[in-house]
Each structure stands twice: as structure tokens, then as C-alpha cells.
Structure 1
Amino acid sequence: MAERTLLPFVEAVDNFDPRYAAERGFARWYLDETYTTVIGLIPQSTLQAMRGWMESHGPTFTVVWDETIRSTTVAFSHGIDSPKRRTEIMKDLCEEWRDGGLFPDEIGGRKWRNEQYTVYYHPYADLRPENVAFTMERAACKLFGVVTYGVHMTMYRRVDGEVRIWVPTRSRNKQTWPLYLDNSVAGGIPHGMSPLDSMVKECEEEASLPPDLVRAHIKQVSSISYFTQNAEKWLEPEVQYVYEMFLPDGVDAKPAPSDGEVESFEMCNLDDILEKMHAGKFKPNCGAVIIDFMIRHGYLTAENEPNYLEIITRLHRRAEGYGPVPKESSH
């Protein structure tokens, strides 16, 4: 009988190597015509739509062939050189595509989130204001292959010495992954909000957990990153800030559905969670965060997981080629 492994769960979220993006038809997206900072990877369908946009709006982007990497490159055109101006361009572009019925499965109808995500000069530098390149609609980020950021929290206590985690079932009305199992609380980081403040906000909105309680017991413990190409072939490189909230004896609190994002919460031990993961019941990136929890708590080890080192490595993948470009590699 084959030895069981959680590697396929990690492979589900870390399944694209950006070093080979050009040969797969993706265009590098540079911040400006100095070609010194890469902010995304654009598929041909998006590139075609951008060309159509420029027919009626002028040369807001420069699209050229780069012989050194044998790929098309895209950059904001000269004069579009501030976060404010780039944000305005992306707002007009994405809203016109939405209203015109382009990419309906990504930004049409309820898919549109009306929430701004931040695109940074350097995706792995501090999330400080001076690192902000521009902002754009959350739902449209996958159209451009930009790095996005989220927060995940595992809420647990010990019962008779055994770890028990509160596991939510996602709402049947969620735009993505309805009725799959999730982390205790999770969400994206909107523009202008810190990871911790985003986490506290999500705890109150999704799980009815008071901010004072959360801030008293929550602890940031890790981060994970991976590079996903989803089933529709869009690129979704992600970074997740990982938190834990351990409730000691005497602290009487438990999560409860609040904003319609969650159907219910169930307290599960790690053996139960492992079986549910192998059964494919968890949203993949939430399962990746739980794997990180299992590693840090010694539940998943090199002795019981045959792909232990590869799992750890794949949970900390960089979006190679993003951010500042080494001088010898620039356009």
C-alpha cells in the first residue's frame, strides 16, 4: 500500500514555476518603461483586451517584444508614473471590462468584489506605504498575475491534552469554494490595512469574535507563499500571514457565524482534520495553512511524512522574477 502524503495538497496550490512563464505565453508586466521592476505576468487573453482598451483610450501601456527573453513585455507608458495615476488607469480599465462583459467568470456580476488590493514595487518587502505601486480591484488581480496577500488564523484549545481546532464550513453562497472546509478565520488584506488589523476585522465579521479577545490571544507565527495557476489557467501568486489563537482553560469563547461567509463551525482534532484533507474537503490554500500548523506543532514530521522537506520548501515559494530586476537581467 502506498504511503500517504500531504504533498498533493501543496502541489494543488504551488503548481506554477514563473521562470518558464515566457515559453507558456505570459508577458512580463513592468511598472514603467525603465523595465527595472516586474509586477505581474499577463496572459494573452488579458493582453489582447489591453490592446483593445488602448484603441479607444490611447497608449496607456507600452507593449513590445523583448528578444533577450523572447517574450512580449508590457509597461505603464511614460507619464503614468505615480501610484495615484496607475490606480486611476487600472480602475477605469477594469470597470470598463466589467461593464462591457469581458471576463465575466472573473469580474462579472457577483465576482466583482468592490475591494482594492495593493500591488507593491517589491512583493516581499515591507508592506509600508512607500512600497505601494498602485491599487486595483481584488477580483481582477488574477487577470494580471500580481501577487496578493491574505491572513489566516487557526483557533484552538486543548481538551484532555489534545489539540482541537475550530473548522468552519464555507457558506453555500460564497463566490468561491462554497461548502468547502476552511481555516478558523481567513480573508484578504485590503489596501490601507495592516495584516493584524485585517485579521482582527475578519475575526469579528466572520466568526463573531470580539476585537479585544482576539488582540489578547492572537499571535503571528508564520507566513506561507506559493504560486498557483488555477483551473482556468489564471496565475495567482499568494502570500498568507499566518496567526494562531490559543484559548487556555477559563477563557470561554467560541466562533459563531456572523456575516454569511460561514455555514457553521465544528471543533475537530488533528486526526479528523487529516482525514478530511485526504478526502478533499478543504479549500486548498486553507489546507496548506493547516499543514504549516501541523509542522510547527510536531504533528507532521520527517518520520511520518515522506515528502516533509519538499512540503516545507514548497510552502515558502517566491514568485521568481517579480520585483526589482537585477541589472544584468533588465530589459
Structure 2
Amino acid sequence: MVIELFDYDAELSRYNVRLRAVAGVGPADRVLDIGCGTGQTTRDAARSAPSGSALGVDVSRPMVDRARALGAEEGIRNVSFERADAQVHPFAPEGFTLGLSRFGTMFFTDPVAAFTNIGRALRPGARLVQLVWQAYHRQEWSTAIRQALAADRMAPAGHGHGAFSLADPTVTAGVLTAAGFTAVEITEVREPIYYGPAAADARDALFELRMVQELVAGLDAAATARALDRLLVMLDAHDTGAGVWFDSSAWLVTARRGPAGKASVGSCLPHAGNRLTLGRGGHPVADVEKRGDDHPEPSPPGEAQPRHVQQHVDQRREREEHDSEQRPDPGVEGRVDQRRPGDPDDEQAEPREDPTDDRE
């Protein structure tokens, strides 16, 4: 029996470039990839560490099976995959020099305990580099789909569950500090995500993610048909000519494992050494290397043209900026280390801002 798996690698192709650039896997690194899905990030790490190795772990058996098959097919000898829950798995103590996660750490039932366990697997001073989603209202892929399917109805409470559990950067910094990590740095990254070459393909992808089923639950047949018609119209409107794309916002979080025995489980207060870059009105802005059109290469899947995608998301961002200028400044009280030395003034800063349970 062939199990259809949603193509997270295509969806997150542009975020993958960001993660790889910041991770900077070295030739001899021993990499732990948390929530590896079908293993693209793990295989990338293994290729970058020819004298080292990469282990990917995920709770999904079908994804781990696919990851193993792809690793064998591509002939990568220093990569391995294991079905495991990173919250409790007995990793070899201090066995890894680098930890990675591409949207795979948001579903922990006890985040402090989970990151403490991950920290034990890393050598003192080793880096942990992860991407996590920002809040629901900053995700066009979530808000547009809900609006199309729910219309005037309220979206089901709790949809997405833990996908946005690390959306508050101050909370995230506190969790990592409590788990024994130091030098936490949180930077906004904003990239479009891909759902398929055309509207019908994107609709099928959303069914694979079970986002559609949850949002039409309780509707009769006629109402369901109308909701699906609205969904198809909305998806068609997001077809850039290079596929169906939605804007999105994430946090790129880096930290270092502190000295052994320094974790203070139960304390989630931000550490004074943590850094969070903020922009106009207290909203976070990206602190990433600029290149060309402000998006790193390579191009998205297929022959997608970044210019077409960018035109779509730029229009939305302009509307957001206009709306934010009309709102009073909420202030930044309580934020962590609000500016780094050398950061531009707020007025000059450029703003950047699941499936549900099994989103990476």
C-alpha cells in the first residue's frame, strides 16, 4: 500500500535555503535533525559533513520509511533515520555537534523537558538552529484557507494545535534558557510557501494535510460544496503563473547548549544575553544577509520565477504596512534585548514579519 505524503520539501523550499545558510554544517559535524520528515534536511546535512554524519528523527513511521528509502536511493552512506520522539528518546549524551529542525519542534507536550533532552544530546557549546512558525494571523496560508472554507462561521477552535506554540519569541527564548541553552538569537524570516503547480493540485494538497476536512466538519453536503468552490477560487487567485504560493512568517532561532548541568527546568524567564531584533512599532524585522531581491537562491521548485512570486507577496506586505501605520504603537515593553549594536533605526528598518499536528 502506497501512502500519499504531503510534499513539505516543495512547500518549504525557500525556508530550506535559509536554514542551510545559517546552520553552516561543517565537514566533520555530527548532526541531529529533529522532526526530519522525509529527510531532505538530514540528507543535505550529511552531504555537507562528509567526515561526519547526520541522524534524522521523526515520530511518523511513513515519513521515516520514505526518508530511509531516499537516503539509500541517493547513495548517502553517512545518513541514518530513526522513528523516535525527540522529547524522550535516549540519545547518546553529547553525541552531536549541531542540532537542526525545520518546523519540527512546535508540537512538544512539555517544551522545556523536550529541549532539555535535546540539549543532553548536544556537546557543550554546540549550536541548535531551528525554524518555527510565527502567529496564526501572520500566515497567509492559514488565514486565507480558513476564510475561504469557514466564510462567516468561526473556524474550529484549536485548529493547528501546537503549530504556533513557539510563536511568541519571548516565550521561546525563556523555554530554551530554562532547558540549559544560552546565546539565544531570534530573527524574523519571511518567505512564500508552495502548494502546487495549479489550484486543483493545491486543493488536493490541503486535503492531504487534513486542513479542509477540519474546516468543513459539521457542514451539510450543499454547504460543503459551496465552501470547496470558494476554496478553489481563492487558490486560483494565488496562482502566480509559477504555482500556488502563500505568504508566511517564521522565526529563525539559534542557541548554544550551555555547560553540562546548567539547565534550570521550570524557569522560563528570558536570559539577558538573548537577542531579538525588533522593527517599527515593536514588530520584529529580519536580521539576515541581504542578497539581490532579498531572497536567496536557488529558485523554488519547477521553474518558478521568484519575481512572479514576489509580486504577489509584496502587494500583501504593502497592505500590511499601511494597516500597521494606522494602528497605535503597541510598544515593546518586556521584549528581550530589543536591538543589536549596529542595527538600523526603526524608521529605516524593513519590515518582515500545520497541517495541523503533522506539519514539519
Fold conserved between structures, TM > 0.5: no
Q: Which has the higher contact order (CA 8 A, sep 6+)?
A: 1
TM-score for the superposition, normalised by structure 1 = 0.26
Higher share of residues assigned strand: 1
